[in-house]
């Protein structure tokens, strides 16, 4: 942008060249003490060489957007976490206080609005002051400082150390280049643009960049609301960000602030009484520090969800061709990442699980919860009873490992889901066009010949199945077998299906596989949940049933905008019909009946229709409850993260437990969370569908047979339908 008439600008430029060279010569010792050379001498060979350097240098330089922080937001736009190489938030001119503008101009460039990028008078004045050891102002204008900071920032962004060094080296060539770029920049930009850019790029401490981040860090306020006293403190930092950092060197910062205040008073920006008030206020009384932690640790109880989002960004080529490009965009690109996290649900999830197993519970048992929206695949909550960080001997509450997620998102293979996996057998049963009223089971001992498998099968000998609570092996129909989680019923179902891999295939279709996306082998014990599945995948599998057989891709990111507000990515539900609608509805109806049976025993009651299934593995090493309404699917897992540690004869949360089942803490946490999560949402039921043909009535038998039959008693239902595979 041109400043003033062409003739005057040209004359100013020539004067600026000469004065810049003269000032630089004094500063660098080229001219003798006292400036004894006359002007004509200064314009001799050396001066002409300097001016020639100006003319041969380019008059523009590339201005890259400065690095700024990226943020991950919850669905209510609250900040979950920030990521940055430099803690900077870019703000427009109208979001910066005039007090800040006055302070920086007063101390760094008092002739900012008079010069054209290079202030020859200022250079000479600074040089003379340096000789007298009394300088309070540098020789570079704000425009020149902006040029230097921009060149350094460009070098950092490109990973060009040579460019960074060149921008910092104390040589005449570097100063001439800065001056030339500054003159060109003032032609292109207005003073307001230059000052705004400077305040956004300048360092205001050892790890704080830009006036907005500085205002938030030091004063917990925005740049638009800075007082004169606050502005004076910030303006003083830029000359030496480390030495004048008020948190590290408060005395230095206070002295420098007072110098700035004096300059503001001299320039007429503040009155004497305000100046005196500023210099008589201790710096420590000004500060209201807000620590700004980068990374997922700052996300608190949502840290593991944040880690999931981060992995989704790093694995998405929409944000760069390579992981390096994606990381650079995240750390420097000023992205705004709107996530799928429901803040209210997340808080409810964390509260619900830690009420059952608190952080740091001496038992060392862990509990985790994942919640997925069936119709979209959006992850709405993800919590566990650990703090995000590196575990150590003195603090075992910390862990970087997500107990909910898969390998690609900071988790592992998962844990054995126990009887909550029996839902897959129910699904395969209906896929085989069988009836829920058909009976199966009838024995504890099963031979190798009872099971066939066309897929990779785990080697097995004869299999002896046990039922929880001493239940008999009597054959039962599928509804009762599911309600009471009778292992022998499910062994019989698997045998009748004729191929174990029908169950595996159903599980793969709905996504109930391990953290690497597979079910490597499938033996008879897998029927009752011996294989590993992460909780998030169990929630997704049940969400597929809730949405009538449609499986939606799990998504944690809803929208991503760049620093200019351009939308880079928008999520859309990606759903596919993976099992027949009728089958999904049939499975749901069986699980709904199962949940109703739980409610009769006093647990898993959320005050509205739900479908659910408990799970407990051998020796009570894992406990689960997975269930859903049409609007939300949630899985809760409990166990020991270090291995298969039985939850028997243990003290958890101050209470002694002989045995822990899925119907205990997992069911309680699930019900508490789902009750809160469903508040305000319409009550939706499940469609009543046919579960198959009912068995035909048997012909009447003899009187003696009736008497004999009347003496037999049906097996008593278990007090809690938790399996013992």
Residue 725, pLDDT score: 40
Q: Are 374 and 552 in contact (CB under 8 A)?
A: yes
Residue 576, pLDDT score: 98
Residue 471, pLDDT score: 85
Q: What is the mean pLDDT of residues 465-472?
A: 84
Q: Supply φ then ψ for residue 357, to 5 degrees.
A: -135, 100
- Cα gap 332→152, rounded to integer Å: 14
Where helices occur in 473-534 by DSSP H, the ranges are 478-483, 487-497, 501-510
Greater model confidence, 92 or 456: 92
Q: Distances from the Cα of 636 to the Cαs of 128, 208, 370, 663, in angstroms?
A: 74, 41, 7, 11
CA 521 from chain centre, in angstroms, equals 34
Residue 39, pLDDT score: 40
What band does 177 get if pLDDT is binned at 50, 70 and 90?
confident
Burial annotation 59-84 (CB, 10 A radius, 16+ → b, else e): eebebeebbbbbbbbbbeeeebbbbb
Greater model confidence, 96 or 19: 96
Percentage of residues in the chain having pLDDT higher than 90: 72
> Is 411 part of any domain?
no
Written as six digits, the tokens of 388 are: 């995000």
Q: Are 718 and 601 in contact (CB under 8 A)?
A: no
What band does 5 get if pLDDT is binned at 50, 70 and 90?
very low
Q: What is the mean pLDDT of residues 603-631?
A: 97
> Is 143 part of any domain?
yes
**Residue 706 in 3-state DSSP?**
helix
Taking 60 as the threshold, does the pLDDT of residue 35 lie above it? no
Residue 115, pLDDT score: 94
Q: What is the mean pLDDT of residues 388-401?
A: 83
What band does 449 get if pLDDT is binned at 50, 70 and 90?
confident
Of 111-125, 229-243, 435-449, highest mean pLDDT:
229-243
- Cα gap 467→66, rounded to integer Å: 65
What band does 38 get if pLDDT is binned at 50, 70 and 90?
very low
CATH number of the domain at 230, please.
1.10.3810.10
Q: What is the mean pLDDT of residues 274-288?
A: 97
Taking 90 as the threshold, does the pLDDT of residue 639 lie above it? yes
Q: How many domains does the chain have?
A: 1
What band does 712 get if pLDDT is binned at 50, 70 and 90?
very low
Taking 70 as the threshold, does the pLDDT of residue 125 lie above it? no
Please provide the DSSP assignment of 164-232 as one string. Answer: HHHHH---HHHHHHHHHHHHHHHHHS-HHHHHHHHHHHSB-SSSBBSHHHHHHHHHSS-GGG--HHHHH
- Cα gap 499→504, rounded to integer Å: 9
Angle CA 312–77–295, to nearest 5: 50
Measured between its terminal Cα atoms, the distance across the chain in Å is 79
Taking 60 as the threshold, does the pLDDT of residue 10 lie above it? no
In sequence order, what are the residues at sequence separation of 6 or more whose Cβ sits closer than 8 angstroms to the Cβ of residue 287?
218, 219, 246, 247
Q: Supply φ then ψ for residue 447, to 5 degrees.
A: -95, 165
Residue 701, pLDDT score: 58
> Is 637 part of any domain?
no
> Is 562 part of any domain?
no
Residue 360, pLDDT score: 92
Domain residues for 23? 6-56+87-286
Q: What is the mean pLDDT of residues 531-538?
A: 98
Residue 452, pLDDT score: 82
Partnered with residue 338 across adjacent β-strands are 73, 559
Burial group, residue 118, by CB count within 10 angstroms (0-12, 13-18, 19+): buried
- Mean of pLDDT over the chain: 88
> Is 179 part of any domain?
yes
> Is 203 part of any domain?
yes
What band does 622 get if pLDDT is binned at 50, 70 and 90?
very high
> Is 652 part of any domain?
no
pLDDT tens, residue by residue, 206-241: 889 999 999 999 999 999 999 999 999 999 999 999
Q: What is the mean pLDDT of residues 455-478?
A: 81
User: Global pTM?
Assistant: 0.85
> Is 369 part of any domain?
no
- Which range among 47-56, 61-70, 410-419, 633-642 shows the weakest confidence by mean pLDDT? 47-56
Residue 129, pLDDT score: 60
Q: Are 409 and 311 in contact (CB under 8 A)?
A: yes
Where helices occur in 333-483 by DSSP H, the ranges are 343-356, 422-431, 478-483
Q: What is the mean pLDDT of residues 231-253?
A: 97
- Which range among 13-17, 209-213, 427-431, 613-617 shows the weakest confidence by mean pLDDT? 13-17
Residue 204, pLDDT score: 97
What band does 136 get if pLDDT is binned at 50, 70 and 90?
very low
Residue 257, pLDDT score: 98
- Cα gap 676→653, rounded to integer Å: 22
Handedness of CA 580, 586, 590, 596 (dihedral sign): positive
- Cα gap 208→466, rounded to integer Å: 63
What band does 134 get if pLDDT is binned at 50, 70 and 90?
very low
Residue 231, pLDDT score: 98
Residue 131, pLDDT score: 55
Taking 80 as the threshold, does the pLDDT of residue 620 lie above it? yes
């Amino acid at each position: 942008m041109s400043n003033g008439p062409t003739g005057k600008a040209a004359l100013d430029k020539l004067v600026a060249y000469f004065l810049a060279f003269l000032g630089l010569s004094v500063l660098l010792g080229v001219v003798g003490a006292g400036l004894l050379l006359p002007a004509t001498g200064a314009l001799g060979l050396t001066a002409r060489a300097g001016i020639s350097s100006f003319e041969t240098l380019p008059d523009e330089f590339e201005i890259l957007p400065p690095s700024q922080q990226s943020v991950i937001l919850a669905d209510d736009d609250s900040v979950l976490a920030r990521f940055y190489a430099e803690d900077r938030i870019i703000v427009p001119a109208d979001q910066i206080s005039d007090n800040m503008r006055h302070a920086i101009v007063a101390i760094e460039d008092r002739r900012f609005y008079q010069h054209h990028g290079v202030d020859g008078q200022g250079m000479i004045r600074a040089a003379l002051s340096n000789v007298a050891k009394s300088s309070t102002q540098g020789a570079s204008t704000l425009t020149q400082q902006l040029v230097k900071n921009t060149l350094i920032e460009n070098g950092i962004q490109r990973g060009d150390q040579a460019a960074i060094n060149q921008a910092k080296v104390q040589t005449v060539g570097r100063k001439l280049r800065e001056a030339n770029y500054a003159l060109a920049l003032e032609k292109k930009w207005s003073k307001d643009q230059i000052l705004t850019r400077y305040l956004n790029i300048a360092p205001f401490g050892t790890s704080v960049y830009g006036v907005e981040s500085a205002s938030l860090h030091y004063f917990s306020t925005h740049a638009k609301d800075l007082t004169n006293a606050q502005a004076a403190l910030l303006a003083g930092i830029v000359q030496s960000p480390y030495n004048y950092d008020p948190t590290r060197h408060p005395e230095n910062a206070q002295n420098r602030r007072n110098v700035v205040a004096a300059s503001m008073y001299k320039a007429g920006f503040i009155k004497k009484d305000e100046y005196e008030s500023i210099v008589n206020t201790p710096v420590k009384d000004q500060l209201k520090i807000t620590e700004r932690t980068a990374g997922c640790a700052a996300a608190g109880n949502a840290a593991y969800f944040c880690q999931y989002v981060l992995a989704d960004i790093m694995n998405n080529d929409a944000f760069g061709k390579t992981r390096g490009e994606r990381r650079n965009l995240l750390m420097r690109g000023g992205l705004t990442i709107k996530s799928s996290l429901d803040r209210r649900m997340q808080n409810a999830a964390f509260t619900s699980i830690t009420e059952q197993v608190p952080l740091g519970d001496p038992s060392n048992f862990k509990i985790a919860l994942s919640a997925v929206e069936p119709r979209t695949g959006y992850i709405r909550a993800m919590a566990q009873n650990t703090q995000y960080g590196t575990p150590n001997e003195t603090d075992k509450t910390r862990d970087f490992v997500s107990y909910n997620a898969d390998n690609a998102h900071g988790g592992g293979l998962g844990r054995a889901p126990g009887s909550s996996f029996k839902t897959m057998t129910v699904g395969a049963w209906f896929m085989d066009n069988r009836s829920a009223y058909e009976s199966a089971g009838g024995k504890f001992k099963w031979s190798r010949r009872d099971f066939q498998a066309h897929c990779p099968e785990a080697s097995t000998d004869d299999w002896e199945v046990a039922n929880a609570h001493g239940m008999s092996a009597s054959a039962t129909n599928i509804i009762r077998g599911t309600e009471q989680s009778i292992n022998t019923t499910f062994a019989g179902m698997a045998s009748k299906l004729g191929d174990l891999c029908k169950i595996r295939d159903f599980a793969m279709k709905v996504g109930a596989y391990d953290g690497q996306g597979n079910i490597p082998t499938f033996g008879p014990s897998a029927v009752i949940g011996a294989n590993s599945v992460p909780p998030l995948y169990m929630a997704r599998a049940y969400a597929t049933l809730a949405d009538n057989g449609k499986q939606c891709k799990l998504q944690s990111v809803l929208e991503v905008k760049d620093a200019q507000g351009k939308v880079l990515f928008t999520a859309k539900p990606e759903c596919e019909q993976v099992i027949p609608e009728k089958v999904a509805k049939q499975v749901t109806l069986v699980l709904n009946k199962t949940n109703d049976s739980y409610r009769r025993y006093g647990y898993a009651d959320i005050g509205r229709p739900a479908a659910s299934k408990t799970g407990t593995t051998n020796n009570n090493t894992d406990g689960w409850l997975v269930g859903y309404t049409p609007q939300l699917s949630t899985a809760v897992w409990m166990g020991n993260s270090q291995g298969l540690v039985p939850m028997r004869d243990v003290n958890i949360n101050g209470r002694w437990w002989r045995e822990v089942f899925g119907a205990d803490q997992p069911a309680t946490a699930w019900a508490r969370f789902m009750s809160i999560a469903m508040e305000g949402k319409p009550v939706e039921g499940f469609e009543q569908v046919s579960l198959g043909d009912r068995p035909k009535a048997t012909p009447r038998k003899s009187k003696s047979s009736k008497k004999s039959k009347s003496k037999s008693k049906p097996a008593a239902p278990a007090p809690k339908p938790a399996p013992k595979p």
